[in-house]
A and B are shown apart, each in its own frame.
Chain A
Amino acid sequence: MTVSKRLQRNQVNTQGLYARALKSAFVKLNPQVMIRNPVMFVVWVGTIVTALLVIDPDLFGAVQGNNRLFNFLVTAILFATLLFANFAEAVAEGRGKAQADSLRATKSDTTARKLLEDDTIQEVSSTALRKGDRIKVIIGDTIPADGEVIAGVASVDESAITGESAPVLKEPGSDVASSVTGGTKIISDELILRVTSDPGQSFLDRMISLVEGAERTKTPNEIALTVLLAVLTLVFIIVVATIPPLANFVGSPVSVTVLVSLLVALIPTTIGGLLSAIGIAGMDRVAQFNVVATSGRAVEACGDVSTLILDKTGTITLGNRLAEEFIPINNHSLLEVAKVALGSSIFDTTPEGKSIVRLAEKLGATIDFDPATAEGVEFSARTRMSGTNLPNGIEIRKGAVDSIKGFVRSRGGQINPELDAAYERVSLLGGTPLAVCQQGELYGIIYLKDIIKPGIRERFDQLRRMGIKTIMLTGDNRITASVIADEAGVDDFIAEATPEDKIAVIQREQAAGKLVAMTGDGTNDAPALAQANVGVAMNSGTQAAKEAANMVDLDSDPTKLIDLVTIGKQLLITRGALTTFSLSNDIAKYFAIIPAMFSAAGIGGLNIMGLASAQSAVLSALVFNALIIPALIPLALRGVKFRPVTANQLLRDNILIYGLGGVIVPFVGIKVIDVVVSVLGLA
């Protein structure tokens, strides 16, 4: 998928996003909604209390310095804090909703042609279709449900789901091409399908509800963090609630407004307000990568993955092997071998054949016959060779070494031990050896090389630094596999792998406590996808594979697994960074509010920031507390940048920025706001 296409797909309707988010920020003030977030609920209750104190400042008894303006300002700031937190969540949700809307546009109730037992057609609503029903779709139809092709051949436009505009050929039998997705369009011919999902359960339905966040359940990490934040909030409630008797005892009474202010300043409102936005934005980032995750848990698990299982072909190497070298034997020159190889491949249209032609031409080889009069011999699984029959009856062949040996013998030729030496040499290089001959004469070996994807080695190095082990699966023989594994820089490999091997290796890793991620597309990958902690199915894959996986990659790009790991880590890092920042802020807030609230106790010396007045100190701390939420919304939505370095380096960097920064920033921020507040004469 090209960049432009991806951009196009992600241009979901964000118009009015902020206006809608602002509106929903007010709607979310509903206490039944607020109570789900214990930290912000405390702020909500605090706001009500201070609002009452605006109406009657002496509601809880007269305290010196308790005035209506101050109470009003505190109430206003608390209210803003609530709105900011709600706004953050609403913006994150809004993005998902916009994406869901664009998906939903493709989904509408259509009429489906249901085939009855006797193959007569009955027109029914698409919502009436059930799993197992047979339906017929013809050109121009929107496919009404997910299904499997059981008859017919047709082109299907899947751009609504994948953003890929080229139509896809669908036909029965083949693993990959036989599954169709509801909401896509058939643009030629007709198909008979067996419906594979009940209404509301289809792929599209799941995708919509996921990006929309309707099915959002808190992830294990998020739950643990919520517990800790709730407990910290409770601790601070106890701290603040027990202050009045203590303060009265030492003759330094404190007003309820100041108590509420202290409480709100101390409880972790920053992370409390942004926590859900971080989670939603994480899902959204996955969606922007054109991957559909079945749950936030799956995204989070990506960050924890410690073993990646990757198929060689398509992930580590480009799909095609290319000719790398000609190895002459029987005293032939390099040019002679090139010439014969060229002759054998002149009709070969496979990428491998073309690469042989390119290499031979590069070496200066030409053919000395007219291709128009020659005849191409196609590769077949039985002969395991291909070649050209020249007009003069000469047969040129290339193919698997054993097959060529047989061909040479049949033409009365001799087998030279040089051949086996060359064969072995190529295997040891990780290549596939092809022998070439003309009649009974062996000319040499073509070394077909697997092309490692550019940059893949660097990515594996990054993964290794992140502590992630990579295991390559391949059908190649051991020698070849080991060479490629070495060249690509994977940590381990399984040669001559079968689907059973996949499950076995996953189970082995899991038994050692590893979290395993893998990609797959075939039906025979389904058990392994289900067994893996993170299973990413290719969208081009079969329905069974998609069902078993917990993520589906719409671009069908297996390399993306590596990016998903990064997204998962980013999600966790963002959560940790903002929590650390939020808690570190408390130090400055204490030093702003405590000297102010106990000014009668003569502890003015603690006012190390030199804040103008007691009320100004409280207001400044609260304003800072409120403003930091919108200031951090972009970070929460974008996520903290992740660099593939070791855990200790990451910790050092993030502690410096969010820990130490979290200690220092509020000191500066509160002081600045204090100057503004006192200049404005608000307190």
Chain B
Amino acid sequence: MLNYRSPETRPLVSLNNTGVRRNGRWLVRGVEFSISRGEIVTLIGPNGSGKSTTAKTAIGVVKPDEGHVERVSGLKVGYVPQKLAVDWTLPLTVERLMTLTGPLKGREIEEALGATGMLHMAKAEVQHLSGGEFQRALLARAIARKPDLLVLDEPVQGVDFSGEIALYELIKQIRNRTGCGILLISHDLHIVMAETDTVVCLNGHVCCRGTPQAVSRSPEYLKLFGRRAAGTLAVYSHHHDHTHLPDGRVLHADGSITESCFPGDGHHHHHDEAVDVHDHDPDCGCGHHTRLQGFEKTEKRDA
């Protein structure tokens, strides 16, 4: 496989200590990461943790209230937003959706629809698609324009377990074929795409970051997910030095409690870039080992 990561080239996007403030409250603060060509960064975190806001900051839709974002000039973004509802009064076929933000050649449209397995649905109106089909149509639209950076906000929502694996496979192929950088947002706190280079765990700030641990190396997970999923999914072990209390305050590892949590508050260890996998007992009570969410997905309806 080609190695797309070369340290010499500038990252496509880098966020430097960015924060976004709305109505007197910090939605997210102190975010630092960068995405280079061919790199996959996964943002995870609970609801309302600022994942979407961070992704929008990275692509310039949201302006940061502190810190700054650097983007290479002429950066071409392909974006799949988290929520997209097309009003039924708008007659929009999958094919027409493809050229929504820019003109494309017929061949480019066919390629992208073919890659996502949506070619047979080209003439269908988008309002008639199922959740999974619509996600694939949106992904096709985003890749058809051959972006430098692909931003996918929860692309596996409404998609069943095997569909999720297929989508991750597809994302991997897109990265390998085009060498674009990918920013992936996942609501799943523990199971991430195996190809992910960096996982950034957000909860109003960067809680921890690292690389995922391949499922295929752990026989228990292998048994749980099955062989097909093992190459695609990976487990991310959190290594937090603090806990978020229900009232929004933060309990630090040193026992102190602060109103909020950001890197400069003096209660944090230096967030390690390197993997510090501490495979400790799931019953340890640290709160970071909830049930495997990916496993529950198998019981969901077939879309």
Q: Do A and B come from one complex?
A: no
Binding site for B on A (CB under 8 A): none
Question: Which residues of B are in contact with A by a Cβ distance under 8 Å?
Answer: none
